[in-house]
Amino acid sequence: MNRPRSVCVLAGVAALAAGCGAAGTSPSGEAGSNRQPVTIVVAPGKHRFDPTELRSGDTVRCRGGVAGAMVPHAGSGVSGNADGVAGSSSITVVNRGRVIVVECEVF
């Protein structure tokens, strides 16, 4: 029985993100913001986001892959790897405060 391991890996990525302070218990975004966390999908490569576009608690996923991670609080970073049916992917999300850097690779 060939089942994709992506579900287990994504659960591990979520646990890793929670361990880095990006757990869903803290509010997302600026103080006083009612904006709900969002999920965005990025193409493979390196991307930069302004904190008004992407906020702590949002989820970023790689297009063409299964890797995903939550945006951590400023000064933190997370990374994850995932294996899918057709290939693998990795993602790194670093919140530098004034810019959020996302790197996505699909193998």
Residue 106 belongs to some domain of the structure: yes
- Per-residue pLDDT of 39-69, as tens digits, reads 999 999 999 999 999 999 999 999 888 899 9
Identify the domain containing residue 91 by its residue range.
38-107
* Distance of alpha carbon 85 from alpha carbon 31, whole angstroms: 41
76-83 and 59-62: which strand pairing? unpaired
Q: How many domains does the chain have?
A: 1
Residue 29 belongs to some domain of the structure: no
- Per-residue pLDDT of 6-52, as tens digits, reads 443 444 444 444 433 333 334 444 454 678 999 999 999 999 999 99
Residues 104 and 68: beta-carbon distance below 8 Å:
no
The residues near 32 (Cβ < 8 Å, ≥ 6 apart) are none
Phi-psi group of 88: left, alpha or beta (phi > 0 → left; psi -120 to 50 → alpha; rest → beta): beta
